[in-house]
Structure 1
Amino acid sequence: MNHDIVLQLALPVTLFCIMFSMGSSLVAADFKRVVQTPAAVITGVVSQMVVLPLAAFIILSLLQLPPELFIGFMILAFSPGGTTSNMFSYLAQGDVALSITLTAIVSLVTPLTIPLLGGLVLEWQLGDQSEIVLPFLPTFAKLVVITLIPVLLGMLLRHYRAAFCLRFEKLMTRVPLLMLLLVIGGIIWQNRTSMSLFLDQTGVPALLLSSLALGLGYLAAKLVRLQLRTARTIAIETGIQNGGTAILITGTILNNPNMTIAPVMYGILMLIPTFAYILWLNRRRAVIV
Protein backbone atom coordinates (compact mmCIF):
# COMPACT_ATOMS: atom_id res chain seq x y z
CA MET A 1 0.00 0.00 0.00
CA ASN A 2 1.19 3.49 -0.79
CA HIS A 3 1.99 5.87 2.01
CA ASP A 4 0.46 9.19 1.10
CA ILE A 5 -1.95 11.76 2.37
CA VAL A 6 -4.61 9.13 3.14
CA LEU A 7 -2.59 7.40 5.88
CA GLN A 8 -0.38 10.28 6.94
CA LEU A 9 -3.02 13.00 7.28
CA ALA A 10 -6.60 11.91 6.54
CA LEU A 11 -6.58 8.88 8.86
CA PRO A 12 -5.21 10.64 11.99
CA VAL A 13 -7.57 13.59 11.48
CA THR A 14 -10.49 11.20 11.00
CA LEU A 15 -9.65 9.24 14.15
CA PHE A 16 -9.37 12.46 16.12
CA CYS A 17 -12.83 13.52 14.91
CA ILE A 18 -14.33 10.09 15.66
CA MET A 19 -12.97 10.03 19.21
CA PHE A 20 -14.04 13.65 19.79
CA SER A 21 -17.53 12.73 18.61
CA MET A 22 -17.60 9.78 20.99
CA GLY A 23 -16.44 11.96 23.88
CA SER A 24 -19.20 14.48 23.17
CA SER A 25 -21.75 11.71 23.78
CA LEU A 26 -20.34 10.77 27.20
CA VAL A 27 -21.63 11.93 30.56
CA ALA A 28 -20.61 11.11 34.11
CA ALA A 29 -23.35 8.47 34.36
CA ASP A 30 -21.56 6.41 31.71
CA PHE A 31 -18.66 5.87 34.09
CA LYS A 32 -20.88 5.38 37.13
CA ARG A 33 -22.11 2.17 35.51
CA VAL A 34 -18.78 0.61 36.45
CA VAL A 35 -20.05 0.69 40.04
CA GLN A 36 -23.74 0.23 39.28
CA THR A 37 -23.37 -2.79 36.97
CA PRO A 38 -19.87 -4.11 37.65
CA ALA A 39 -20.52 -7.63 36.32
CA ALA A 40 -21.61 -6.37 32.90
CA VAL A 41 -18.77 -3.87 32.59
CA ILE A 42 -16.07 -6.27 33.78
CA THR A 43 -17.34 -9.04 31.50
CA GLY A 44 -17.42 -6.69 28.53
CA VAL A 45 -13.92 -5.36 29.14
CA VAL A 46 -12.44 -8.83 29.72
CA SER A 47 -14.17 -10.18 26.63
CA GLN A 48 -12.68 -7.42 24.48
CA MET A 49 -9.26 -7.08 26.07
CA VAL A 50 -8.47 -10.69 26.98
CA VAL A 51 -10.79 -13.24 25.36
CA LEU A 52 -10.63 -11.85 21.82
CA PRO A 53 -6.82 -11.46 21.68
CA LEU A 54 -6.41 -15.02 22.99
CA ALA A 55 -8.89 -16.33 20.41
CA ALA A 56 -7.11 -14.40 17.67
CA PHE A 57 -3.75 -15.80 18.74
CA ILE A 58 -5.05 -19.38 18.63
CA ILE A 59 -6.84 -19.01 15.28
CA LEU A 60 -3.94 -17.22 13.59
CA SER A 61 -1.45 -19.76 14.91
CA LEU A 62 -3.53 -22.66 13.60
CA LEU A 63 -3.86 -20.99 10.19
CA GLN A 64 -0.09 -20.39 10.09
CA LEU A 65 -0.36 -16.93 8.58
CA PRO A 66 2.75 -15.07 7.39
CA PRO A 67 4.30 -13.00 10.21
CA GLU A 68 3.20 -9.61 8.85
CA LEU A 69 -0.44 -10.68 8.47
CA PHE A 70 -0.31 -12.32 11.90
CA ILE A 71 0.94 -9.07 13.42
CA GLY A 72 -1.68 -7.02 11.58
CA PHE A 73 -4.51 -9.18 12.92
CA MET A 74 -3.10 -9.19 16.46
CA ILE A 75 -2.78 -5.40 16.54
CA LEU A 76 -6.40 -5.29 15.39
CA ALA A 77 -7.32 -7.67 18.23
CA PHE A 78 -5.60 -5.28 20.64
CA SER A 79 -7.73 -2.39 19.30
CA PRO A 80 -11.26 -2.78 20.70
CA GLY A 81 -13.89 -0.12 21.03
CA GLY A 82 -14.97 0.54 17.48
CA THR A 83 -17.33 3.51 17.57
CA THR A 84 -19.77 1.78 15.20
CA SER A 85 -20.43 -0.81 17.90
CA ASN A 86 -22.81 1.64 19.57
CA MET A 87 -24.91 1.79 16.40
CA PHE A 88 -24.91 -1.99 16.01
CA SER A 89 -25.91 -2.45 19.65
CA TYR A 90 -28.88 -0.20 18.97
CA LEU A 91 -29.84 -2.21 15.87
CA ALA A 92 -29.60 -5.43 17.88
CA GLN A 93 -31.79 -3.87 20.61
CA GLY A 94 -28.96 -4.25 23.08
CA ASP A 95 -27.93 -2.05 25.98
CA VAL A 96 -26.66 1.04 24.17
CA ALA A 97 -25.69 2.77 27.42
CA LEU A 98 -23.45 -0.19 28.31
CA SER A 99 -21.99 -0.13 24.79
CA ILE A 100 -21.02 3.52 25.19
CA THR A 101 -19.52 2.83 28.63
CA LEU A 102 -17.41 -0.07 27.35
CA THR A 103 -16.21 1.93 24.35
CA ALA A 104 -15.23 4.79 26.66
CA ILE A 105 -13.33 2.57 29.11
CA VAL A 106 -11.29 0.68 26.53
CA SER A 107 -10.50 3.93 24.73
CA LEU A 108 -8.84 5.16 27.92
CA VAL A 109 -6.60 2.10 28.32
CA THR A 110 -5.66 1.09 24.76
CA PRO A 111 -3.04 3.85 24.31
CA LEU A 112 -1.11 1.90 26.96
CA THR A 113 -1.97 -1.69 26.05
CA ILE A 114 -1.58 -1.53 22.24
CA PRO A 115 2.11 -0.48 22.15
CA LEU A 116 2.94 -2.83 25.04
CA LEU A 117 1.27 -5.95 23.63
CA GLY A 118 1.92 -5.05 20.01
CA GLY A 119 5.63 -4.70 20.73
CA LEU A 120 5.71 -8.18 22.27
CA VAL A 121 3.99 -9.70 19.22
CA LEU A 122 6.39 -7.96 16.84
CA GLU A 123 9.41 -9.21 18.72
CA TRP A 124 8.01 -12.75 18.87
CA GLN A 125 7.13 -12.89 15.18
CA LEU A 126 10.05 -11.00 13.67
CA GLY A 127 12.78 -11.36 16.29
CA ASP A 128 14.59 -8.68 18.23
CA GLN A 129 16.93 -8.02 15.29
CA SER A 130 14.14 -6.83 13.01
CA GLU A 131 14.19 -3.26 11.73
CA ILE A 132 10.41 -3.11 12.23
CA VAL A 133 9.74 -2.07 15.82
CA LEU A 134 6.88 -0.49 17.73
CA PRO A 135 8.50 2.05 20.05
CA PHE A 136 6.48 2.24 23.24
CA LEU A 137 6.71 5.91 24.20
CA PRO A 138 6.22 7.43 20.70
CA THR A 139 3.32 5.06 20.01
CA PHE A 140 1.76 5.77 23.40
CA ALA A 141 2.12 9.52 22.86
CA LYS A 142 0.59 9.38 19.38
CA LEU A 143 -2.36 7.31 20.56
CA VAL A 144 -2.93 9.67 23.49
CA VAL A 145 -3.01 12.66 21.12
CA ILE A 146 -5.26 11.00 18.52
CA THR A 147 -7.58 8.93 20.72
CA LEU A 148 -7.52 9.93 24.40
CA ILE A 149 -7.25 13.73 24.20
CA PRO A 150 -10.14 14.13 21.73
CA VAL A 151 -12.33 11.96 23.99
CA LEU A 152 -11.56 14.24 26.93
CA LEU A 153 -12.15 17.36 24.81
CA GLY A 154 -15.48 15.94 23.64
CA MET A 155 -16.48 15.23 27.24
CA LEU A 156 -15.63 18.81 28.21
CA LEU A 157 -17.79 20.11 25.39
CA ARG A 158 -20.65 17.85 26.50
CA HIS A 159 -20.28 19.03 30.10
CA TYR A 160 -20.29 22.75 29.31
CA ARG A 161 -22.37 22.78 26.12
CA ALA A 162 -24.76 19.86 26.52
CA ALA A 163 -27.52 21.51 24.50
CA PHE A 164 -25.15 22.06 21.57
CA CYS A 165 -24.01 18.42 21.64
CA LEU A 166 -27.56 17.12 21.77
CA ARG A 167 -28.68 19.44 18.98
CA PHE A 168 -25.92 18.36 16.61
CA GLU A 169 -25.52 14.79 17.88
CA LYS A 170 -26.39 13.10 14.58
CA LEU A 171 -24.16 15.40 12.57
CA MET A 172 -21.22 14.97 14.96
CA THR A 173 -21.62 11.20 14.82
CA ARG A 174 -22.27 10.63 11.13
CA VAL A 175 -19.68 12.98 9.63
CA PRO A 176 -16.65 11.27 11.28
CA LEU A 177 -17.98 7.83 10.34
CA LEU A 178 -18.41 9.02 6.77
CA MET A 179 -14.83 10.31 6.89
CA LEU A 180 -13.63 6.87 8.03
CA LEU A 181 -15.53 5.17 5.22
CA LEU A 182 -13.87 7.56 2.75
CA VAL A 183 -10.43 6.79 4.19
CA ILE A 184 -11.01 3.03 3.94
CA GLY A 185 -12.44 3.56 0.46
CA GLY A 186 -9.32 5.49 -0.49
CA ILE A 187 -7.07 2.69 0.72
CA ILE A 188 -9.13 0.13 -1.19
CA TRP A 189 -9.06 2.26 -4.36
CA GLN A 190 -5.29 2.63 -4.19
CA ASN A 191 -4.99 -1.15 -3.96
CA ARG A 192 -7.93 -2.15 -6.14
CA THR A 193 -5.77 -4.35 -8.38
CA SER A 194 -4.62 -6.38 -5.37
CA MET A 195 -7.96 -6.69 -3.54
CA SER A 196 -8.62 -10.24 -4.75
CA LEU A 197 -5.21 -11.29 -3.41
CA PHE A 198 -5.87 -9.53 -0.10
CA LEU A 199 -9.21 -11.31 0.17
CA ASP A 200 -7.54 -14.67 -0.44
CA GLN A 201 -4.97 -13.95 2.26
CA THR A 202 -7.22 -12.50 4.95
CA GLY A 203 -10.82 -13.43 4.11
CA VAL A 204 -11.00 -16.68 6.05
CA PRO A 205 -9.14 -15.41 9.16
CA ALA A 206 -11.23 -12.21 9.26
CA LEU A 207 -14.56 -14.00 8.96
CA LEU A 208 -13.54 -16.71 11.43
CA LEU A 209 -12.29 -14.22 13.98
CA SER A 210 -15.24 -11.83 13.71
CA SER A 211 -17.77 -14.67 13.92
CA LEU A 212 -15.99 -16.31 16.85
CA ALA A 213 -15.73 -12.95 18.61
CA LEU A 214 -19.51 -12.50 18.47
CA GLY A 215 -20.06 -15.99 19.85
CA LEU A 216 -17.46 -15.72 22.60
CA GLY A 217 -18.75 -12.34 23.73
CA TYR A 218 -22.29 -13.67 23.96
CA LEU A 219 -21.13 -16.84 25.74
CA ALA A 220 -19.07 -14.89 28.27
CA ALA A 221 -22.11 -12.78 29.17
CA LYS A 222 -24.39 -15.79 29.53
CA LEU A 223 -21.85 -17.65 31.67
CA VAL A 224 -22.12 -14.93 34.30
CA ARG A 225 -25.91 -14.90 33.85
CA LEU A 226 -26.28 -11.41 32.42
CA GLN A 227 -29.51 -10.26 30.78
CA LEU A 228 -30.19 -10.96 27.12
CA ARG A 229 -29.83 -7.30 26.10
CA THR A 230 -26.49 -7.16 27.90
CA ALA A 231 -25.28 -10.36 26.23
CA ARG A 232 -26.11 -8.97 22.79
CA THR A 233 -24.19 -5.80 23.57
CA ILE A 234 -21.08 -7.63 24.77
CA ALA A 235 -21.22 -9.86 21.68
CA ILE A 236 -21.30 -6.80 19.41
CA GLU A 237 -18.59 -5.00 21.38
CA THR A 238 -16.30 -8.03 21.14
CA GLY A 239 -16.84 -8.49 17.41
CA ILE A 240 -16.56 -4.86 16.30
CA GLN A 241 -12.95 -3.68 16.44
CA ASN A 242 -11.42 -0.24 16.04
CA GLY A 243 -9.99 -0.76 12.57
CA GLY A 244 -9.02 2.90 12.30
CA THR A 245 -6.65 2.68 15.27
CA ALA A 246 -5.16 -0.58 14.00
CA ILE A 247 -4.59 0.93 10.54
CA LEU A 248 -2.95 3.94 12.17
CA ILE A 249 -0.51 1.65 13.99
CA THR A 250 0.32 -0.61 11.05
CA GLY A 251 0.18 1.92 8.24
CA THR A 252 1.54 5.08 9.85
CA ILE A 253 3.66 4.15 12.88
CA LEU A 254 5.01 0.81 11.64
CA ASN A 255 4.90 2.02 8.04
CA ASN A 256 4.22 -1.52 6.85
CA PRO A 257 1.74 -1.98 3.96
CA ASN A 258 1.43 -5.75 4.40
CA MET A 259 0.43 -5.45 8.06
CA THR A 260 -2.24 -2.90 7.10
CA ILE A 261 -4.05 -5.45 4.92
CA ALA A 262 -5.45 -7.32 7.94
CA PRO A 263 -7.24 -4.43 9.73
CA VAL A 264 -8.55 -3.02 6.43
CA MET A 265 -10.09 -6.33 5.39
CA TYR A 266 -11.38 -7.10 8.89
CA GLY A 267 -13.04 -3.70 9.01
CA ILE A 268 -14.99 -4.67 5.89
CA LEU A 269 -15.63 -8.36 6.50
CA MET A 270 -16.63 -8.05 10.17
CA LEU A 271 -19.85 -6.45 8.93
CA ILE A 272 -21.00 -9.76 7.39
CA PRO A 273 -21.41 -11.79 10.63
CA THR A 274 -22.55 -8.67 12.48
CA PHE A 275 -25.39 -7.92 10.07
CA ALA A 276 -26.22 -11.64 9.88
CA TYR A 277 -26.52 -11.71 13.68
CA ILE A 278 -28.76 -8.64 13.72
CA LEU A 279 -30.96 -10.00 10.93
CA TRP A 280 -31.28 -13.30 12.80
CA LEU A 281 -32.32 -11.44 15.95
CA ASN A 282 -34.92 -9.43 14.03
CA ARG A 283 -36.36 -12.54 12.35
CA ARG A 284 -36.49 -14.38 15.64
CA ARG A 285 -38.22 -11.42 17.25
CA ALA A 286 -40.75 -11.29 14.39
CA VAL A 287 -41.51 -14.99 14.75
CA ILE A 288 -42.01 -14.67 18.50
CA VAL A 289 -44.28 -11.67 18.04
Structure 2
Amino acid sequence: MWGVFAKPFRNIERIFPTKQEAVSRMVDLCKTMPNIKRITIFGSAVTAGCNPWSDIDIYFETDTPLQTYPVVLGDDVFDNWSNFTAEGELLEEIKKKGVVVYERGSTVAGGVNMENTARSEEERIPMELINGKIVMMSPRPRVDHTRVSGELYRIFSTALKGKRCEAFPDGVDVYLDEKNHFVPDAMIVCDPSRIKPTHIEGAPTLVVEVLSPRTQIYDRGAKMQAYAAAGVQEYWIVDPLGKSVEIYRPQDGRMEIQRVYTYYSPEEIAENATAPERFRLTDEEKEQDIYVDLCGGFHVLLADVFERVLNHA
Protein backbone atom coordinates (compact mmCIF):
# COMPACT_ATOMS: atom_id res chain seq x y z
CA MET A 1 0.00 0.00 0.00
CA TRP A 2 1.27 3.46 -0.89
CA GLY A 3 0.15 6.89 0.24
CA VAL A 4 1.44 10.42 0.67
CA PHE A 5 1.35 13.34 3.04
CA ALA A 6 1.99 16.45 0.95
CA LYS A 7 2.56 19.98 2.22
CA PRO A 8 3.45 22.88 -0.09
CA PHE A 9 5.75 25.59 1.21
CA ARG A 10 5.01 28.60 -0.98
CA ASN A 11 6.71 31.98 -1.50
CA ILE A 12 10.04 31.29 0.11
CA GLU A 13 13.39 31.80 -1.55
CA ARG A 14 15.09 28.48 -0.86
CA ILE A 15 13.33 25.68 0.93
CA PHE A 16 16.65 23.89 1.37
CA PRO A 17 18.04 24.07 4.00
CA THR A 18 15.75 26.60 5.67
CA LYS A 19 12.88 24.11 5.82
CA GLN A 20 14.94 21.02 6.47
CA GLU A 21 13.82 20.95 10.11
CA ALA A 22 10.20 20.91 8.97
CA VAL A 23 10.96 17.96 6.70
CA SER A 24 12.60 16.23 9.66
CA ARG A 25 9.49 16.76 11.72
CA MET A 26 7.38 15.25 8.97
CA VAL A 27 9.61 12.18 8.72
CA ASP A 28 9.63 11.76 12.50
CA LEU A 29 5.86 12.00 12.59
CA CYS A 30 5.36 9.41 9.84
CA LYS A 31 7.71 7.04 11.65
CA THR A 32 5.36 6.97 14.64
CA MET A 33 2.43 5.70 12.58
CA PRO A 34 1.52 2.02 12.74
CA ASN A 35 2.47 -0.30 9.85
CA ILE A 36 4.98 2.06 8.20
CA LYS A 37 7.49 0.03 6.16
CA ARG A 38 9.34 2.67 4.14
CA ILE A 39 9.39 6.49 3.77
CA THR A 40 10.49 8.23 0.55
CA ILE A 41 10.82 11.97 -0.02
CA PHE A 42 11.04 14.32 -3.03
CA GLY A 43 11.91 17.93 -3.71
CA SER A 44 13.83 20.46 -1.68
CA ALA A 45 14.43 18.08 1.19
CA VAL A 46 17.06 16.35 -0.93
CA THR A 47 17.80 18.86 -3.71
CA ALA A 48 19.63 22.03 -2.74
CA GLY A 49 18.70 23.88 -5.95
CA CYS A 50 15.05 22.94 -5.88
CA ASN A 51 12.52 25.33 -7.37
CA PRO A 52 11.15 27.43 -4.47
CA TRP A 53 7.63 26.81 -5.78
CA SER A 54 7.91 23.04 -5.42
CA ASP A 55 6.18 20.94 -2.82
CA ILE A 56 7.80 18.79 -0.17
CA ASP A 57 6.23 15.36 -0.46
CA ILE A 58 6.65 12.38 1.84
CA TYR A 59 5.57 9.04 0.40
CA PHE A 60 5.27 5.99 2.57
CA GLU A 61 4.65 2.31 2.09
CA THR A 62 2.47 0.51 4.62
CA ASP A 63 1.65 -3.07 5.57
CA THR A 64 -2.11 -2.49 5.58
CA PRO A 65 -4.51 -0.03 3.93
CA LEU A 66 -3.78 3.57 4.79
CA GLN A 67 -5.59 5.26 7.63
CA THR A 68 -5.90 9.03 7.97
CA TYR A 69 -4.77 10.30 11.37
CA PRO A 70 -5.73 13.74 12.68
CA VAL A 71 -2.51 15.57 13.55
CA VAL A 72 -2.29 17.75 16.67
CA LEU A 73 0.72 20.02 16.24
CA GLY A 74 -0.35 23.36 17.65
CA ASP A 75 0.91 26.14 15.39
CA ASP A 76 3.39 23.96 13.52
CA VAL A 77 3.77 24.27 9.76
CA PHE A 78 2.10 21.03 8.72
CA ASP A 79 -1.24 21.05 10.44
CA ASN A 80 -3.13 20.98 7.09
CA TRP A 81 -1.77 17.87 5.43
CA SER A 82 -3.75 16.22 2.67
CA ASN A 83 -3.88 12.49 2.09
CA PHE A 84 -4.20 10.47 -1.11
CA THR A 85 -2.99 7.25 -2.72
CA ALA A 86 -0.16 7.16 -5.27
CA GLU A 87 -0.71 4.91 -8.30
CA GLY A 88 0.35 4.36 -11.93
CA GLU A 89 2.92 6.76 -13.37
CA LEU A 90 3.24 8.68 -10.11
CA LEU A 91 4.12 5.50 -8.27
CA GLU A 92 6.77 4.70 -10.89
CA GLU A 93 8.24 8.20 -10.45
CA ILE A 94 8.38 7.70 -6.70
CA LYS A 95 10.32 4.46 -7.10
CA LYS A 96 12.63 5.96 -9.72
CA LYS A 97 13.43 9.41 -8.30
CA GLY A 98 12.46 9.36 -4.65
CA VAL A 99 15.04 9.09 -1.88
CA VAL A 100 14.36 6.53 0.84
CA VAL A 101 14.97 8.15 4.25
CA TYR A 102 13.49 5.48 6.46
CA GLU A 103 13.12 1.72 6.16
CA ARG A 104 11.94 -0.48 8.98
CA GLY A 105 14.91 -2.04 10.74
CA SER A 106 17.48 0.20 9.04
CA THR A 107 19.00 3.61 9.87
CA VAL A 108 20.49 4.12 6.40
CA ALA A 109 18.47 3.30 3.31
CA GLY A 110 18.89 3.98 -0.38
CA GLY A 111 22.45 5.16 0.20
CA VAL A 112 21.23 8.22 2.11
CA ASN A 113 22.47 8.96 5.61
CA MET A 114 19.49 9.75 7.81
CA GLU A 115 21.42 12.64 9.39
CA ASN A 116 20.97 14.54 6.11
CA THR A 117 17.18 14.42 6.18
CA ALA A 118 16.00 13.72 9.70
CA ARG A 119 17.27 14.44 13.16
CA SER A 120 19.13 11.84 15.14
CA GLU A 121 17.19 9.70 17.61
CA GLU A 122 18.49 11.81 20.51
CA GLU A 123 17.00 14.96 18.98
CA ARG A 124 13.70 13.45 17.83
CA ILE A 125 10.68 15.40 18.99
CA PRO A 126 8.54 13.02 21.08
CA MET A 127 5.04 12.25 19.86
CA GLU A 128 2.23 10.07 21.12
CA LEU A 129 -0.79 8.47 19.49
CA ILE A 130 -3.75 9.38 21.73
CA ASN A 131 -7.13 7.95 20.79
CA GLY A 132 -6.02 7.81 17.16
CA LYS A 133 -4.60 11.37 17.10
CA ILE A 134 -0.89 12.09 16.78
CA VAL A 135 0.06 14.60 19.46
CA MET A 136 3.36 16.47 19.62
CA MET A 137 4.69 16.36 23.18
CA SER A 138 6.94 18.90 24.89
CA PRO A 139 10.25 18.64 22.99
CA ARG A 140 12.42 19.62 25.96
CA PRO A 141 10.87 19.20 29.41
CA ARG A 142 11.57 21.74 32.13
CA VAL A 143 14.32 21.02 34.63
CA ASP A 144 11.88 20.28 37.45
CA HIS A 145 9.94 17.88 35.23
CA THR A 146 13.13 15.92 34.61
CA ARG A 147 14.15 16.05 38.28
CA VAL A 148 10.84 14.58 39.39
CA SER A 149 10.56 11.85 36.74
CA GLY A 150 14.22 10.91 37.15
CA GLU A 151 13.98 10.68 40.93
CA LEU A 152 10.87 8.53 40.79
CA TYR A 153 12.54 6.15 38.34
CA ARG A 154 15.61 5.96 40.61
CA ILE A 155 13.45 5.13 43.65
CA PHE A 156 11.43 2.54 41.73
CA SER A 157 14.50 0.93 40.18
CA THR A 158 16.39 0.70 43.46
CA ALA A 159 13.43 -0.80 45.32
CA LEU A 160 12.72 -3.37 42.59
CA LYS A 161 16.27 -4.53 41.91
CA GLY A 162 16.33 -8.32 41.58
CA LYS A 163 12.54 -8.61 41.73
CA ARG A 164 9.95 -9.64 39.17
CA CYS A 165 8.64 -6.11 38.62
CA GLU A 166 10.85 -3.76 36.64
CA ALA A 167 10.98 0.04 36.50
CA PHE A 168 11.38 2.01 33.27
CA PRO A 169 12.28 5.70 32.84
CA ASP A 170 10.92 8.35 30.49
CA GLY A 171 11.50 7.53 26.82
CA VAL A 172 10.14 3.97 26.66
CA ASP A 173 7.14 3.50 24.36
CA VAL A 174 3.97 1.81 25.59
CA TYR A 175 1.61 0.32 23.00
CA LEU A 176 -1.73 -0.07 24.78
CA ASP A 177 -3.63 -0.75 21.55
CA GLU A 178 -3.63 0.36 17.91
CA LYS A 179 -4.96 3.82 18.79
CA ASN A 180 -2.93 4.56 21.93
CA HIS A 181 0.86 4.64 21.93
CA PHE A 182 2.19 6.54 24.95
CA VAL A 183 5.55 7.48 26.48
CA PRO A 184 5.05 7.66 30.27
CA ASP A 185 7.44 9.64 32.46
CA ALA A 186 8.07 6.52 34.55
CA MET A 187 6.42 3.14 34.97
CA ILE A 188 6.58 -0.26 36.60
CA VAL A 189 5.91 -3.47 34.66
CA CYS A 190 5.26 -6.66 36.62
CA ASP A 191 4.45 -8.92 33.65
CA PRO A 192 7.75 -9.71 31.88
CA SER A 193 5.89 -10.98 28.79
CA ARG A 194 4.87 -7.39 28.03
CA ILE A 195 8.48 -6.25 27.72
CA LYS A 196 9.51 -6.30 24.04
CA PRO A 197 12.86 -5.27 22.50
CA THR A 198 11.52 -1.87 21.38
CA HIS A 199 8.51 -1.15 23.62
CA ILE A 200 6.09 -2.28 26.31
CA GLU A 201 3.10 -4.07 24.78
CA GLY A 202 -0.08 -3.75 26.81
CA ALA A 203 -0.72 -2.12 30.16
CA PRO A 204 2.10 -1.47 32.63
CA THR A 205 1.27 -2.16 36.27
CA LEU A 206 1.91 1.37 37.51
CA VAL A 207 2.22 4.49 35.35
CA VAL A 208 3.53 7.95 36.24
CA GLU A 209 2.75 11.08 34.23
CA VAL A 210 4.43 14.33 35.29
CA LEU A 211 2.33 17.34 34.41
CA SER A 212 3.49 19.97 31.95
CA PRO A 213 1.44 22.90 30.61
CA ARG A 214 1.25 21.45 27.12
CA THR A 215 0.20 17.91 27.95
CA GLN A 216 -1.77 17.96 31.21
CA ILE A 217 -5.11 18.01 29.41
CA TYR A 218 -4.25 14.58 27.99
CA ASP A 219 -2.79 13.24 31.25
CA ARG A 220 -6.05 14.04 33.04
CA GLY A 221 -8.30 13.13 30.13
CA ALA A 222 -7.87 10.78 27.19
CA LYS A 223 -4.68 9.11 28.43
CA MET A 224 -6.13 8.44 31.88
CA GLN A 225 -9.19 6.83 30.28
CA ALA A 226 -7.03 4.71 27.98
CA TYR A 227 -4.86 3.54 30.88
CA ALA A 228 -7.98 2.50 32.81
CA ALA A 229 -9.45 0.63 29.84
CA ALA A 230 -6.15 -1.18 29.22
CA GLY A 231 -5.87 -2.43 32.81
CA VAL A 232 -3.25 -0.21 34.47
CA GLN A 233 -3.51 -0.99 38.19
CA GLU A 234 -2.28 2.34 39.51
CA TYR A 235 -1.87 5.75 37.89
CA TRP A 236 0.09 8.65 39.36
CA ILE A 237 -0.28 12.27 38.26
CA VAL A 238 2.65 14.26 39.61
CA ASP A 239 2.58 18.06 39.71
CA PRO A 240 6.07 19.62 40.09
CA LEU A 241 4.59 23.09 40.63
CA GLY A 242 2.18 22.03 43.37
CA LYS A 243 4.61 19.38 44.66
CA SER A 244 1.84 16.83 44.80
CA VAL A 245 1.14 13.23 43.78
CA GLU A 246 -2.38 12.12 42.91
CA ILE A 247 -2.97 8.36 43.17
CA TYR A 248 -5.64 6.80 40.94
CA ARG A 249 -6.90 3.22 40.68
CA PRO A 250 -9.43 1.74 38.27
CA GLN A 251 -13.02 1.32 39.37
CA ASP A 252 -15.85 0.31 37.03
CA GLY A 253 -13.72 0.92 33.95
CA ARG A 254 -12.45 4.38 34.90
CA MET A 255 -9.70 5.85 37.05
CA GLU A 256 -10.89 7.08 40.45
CA ILE A 257 -8.74 9.20 42.72
CA GLN A 258 -7.70 7.44 45.94
CA ARG A 259 -5.39 9.90 47.62
CA VAL A 260 -3.48 13.14 47.13
CA TYR A 261 -0.07 13.59 48.74
CA THR A 262 1.52 17.06 48.99
CA TYR A 263 5.12 17.77 49.96
CA TYR A 264 5.72 20.06 52.92
CA SER A 265 9.17 20.83 54.25
CA PRO A 266 9.83 20.27 57.98
CA GLU A 267 9.85 24.06 58.38
CA GLU A 268 6.42 24.38 56.73
CA ILE A 269 4.95 21.66 58.94
CA ALA A 270 6.39 23.27 62.08
CA GLU A 271 5.04 26.69 61.08
CA ASN A 272 1.63 25.23 60.29
CA ALA A 273 1.43 23.75 63.80
CA THR A 274 1.25 27.28 65.22
CA ALA A 275 -1.55 28.38 62.87
CA PRO A 276 -5.16 28.71 64.04
CA GLU A 277 -6.68 25.27 64.39
CA ARG A 278 -9.00 25.62 61.38
CA PHE A 279 -5.96 26.14 59.13
CA ARG A 280 -3.84 23.31 60.48
CA LEU A 281 -3.04 20.29 58.35
CA THR A 282 -4.69 17.02 59.29
CA ASP A 283 -2.55 14.03 60.14
CA GLU A 284 -3.42 12.57 56.73
CA GLU A 285 -2.43 15.80 54.93
CA LYS A 286 0.92 15.79 56.74
CA GLU A 287 1.85 12.30 55.58
CA GLN A 288 5.03 12.45 53.50
CA ASP A 289 5.40 8.77 52.66
CA ILE A 290 3.71 6.88 49.79
CA TYR A 291 3.54 3.12 50.17
CA VAL A 292 3.69 1.17 46.90
CA ASP A 293 2.18 -2.30 47.30
CA LEU A 294 4.16 -4.13 44.61
CA CYS A 295 6.75 -6.92 44.92
CA GLY A 296 6.70 -6.96 48.71
CA GLY A 297 6.11 -3.21 48.96
CA PHE A 298 8.34 -0.17 49.25
CA HIS A 299 8.13 3.48 50.25
CA VAL A 300 8.47 6.71 48.28
CA LEU A 301 9.37 9.75 50.39
CA LEU A 302 8.00 13.01 49.02
CA ALA A 303 11.14 14.81 50.17
CA ASP A 304 13.22 12.64 47.83
CA VAL A 305 10.95 13.52 44.91
CA PHE A 306 10.40 17.26 45.47
CA GLU A 307 13.13 18.59 47.75
CA ARG A 308 15.17 20.04 44.86
CA VAL A 309 12.22 21.30 42.86
CA LEU A 310 12.25 25.08 42.39
CA ASN A 311 9.54 27.21 43.95
CA HIS A 312 8.34 28.77 40.69
CA ALA A 313 6.70 27.72 37.47
User: Which protein is richer in helix relative to its size?
Assistant: 1
- Which structure has the bigger radius of gyration? 2
Larger RCO: 1 or 2 (CA < 8 Å, sep 6+)? 1
TM value normalised by structure 2: 0.22
